[in-house]
Amino acid sequence: MKKILSLLTVFSLFFLAKPVAAFCPVCAVAVGAGLGLSRWLKIDDAVSGVWVGGFIVALIGWTINWMNTKNWKFYGRKILIVVLYYGLTLWPLYIGGIIGHPYNTLWGYDKLLVGTFFGSIVFLTMGVWYNYLKKNNNGHAYFPMQKVVMPVSGILITSLIFQFLTK
């Protein structure tokens, strides 16, 4: 339980440092489809976790962006959204026994949590990098669908790395 709480705390710290940029719906659909496909194909939990992390970050970005359009601003809303999404995703997995199995670990932590951590970091980083590149290119993407390609390719590469690490 201490490991889960410490990972949730670390997750929340990453979202306090930068303003959240919303991700496109195609990215979230691609991530969600990848997650469903990985579970169906019985792919390792670390790889599935990468997709879980990416999907949660996309949902957080959408929610904050939606709240901005509705002008719903209050103290601590970003951290509240982050904690709620991670909590509402990971707690049921813990209660259901998917997270916390003693033989399903990587580096001493649950594989699904490790994958979720890295998937979140990569998806967020690729989104921030896309916004940086776009800003430095007079507000234009360098190629069509770059906003989709960057985060999804980051998740795919991270998935491949975890696939090789766990086999």
Residue extents of the structural domains in the chain:
45-166
- Is pLDDT at 27 greater than 60 in this prediction? no
pLDDT 10s digits, 57-93: 989 998 998 999 999 989 999 999 999 999 888 888 7
The first and second tokens of residue 3, run together, are 């490991």
Could you tell me which residues are beta bridge partners of residue 106?
Answer: 109
- Residue with token string 């990971």: 90
pLDDT at 126: 94
From start to end of 51-148, where are the E strands? 105-106, 109-110
**The model's pTM:** 0.75
In this prediction, residue 94 has a pLDDT band, given cuts at 50, 70 and 90, of: confident
- Residue with token string 């169906």: 40
The first and second tokens of residue 127, run together, are 């989104």
pLDDT at 151: 92
In this prediction, residue 20 has a pLDDT band, given cuts at 50, 70 and 90, of: very low
CA-to-CA distance for 62 and 23, rounded, in angstroms? 7
pLDDT 10s digits, 101-146: 888 888 889 998 999 999 999 999 999 999 999 999 998 988 888 8
Contact 50, 58 (CB under 8 A): no
Q: What is the DSSP letter of 68?
A: H
CA-to-CA distance for 121 and 49, rounded, in angstroms? 12
- Is pLDDT at 97 greater than 60 in this prediction? yes
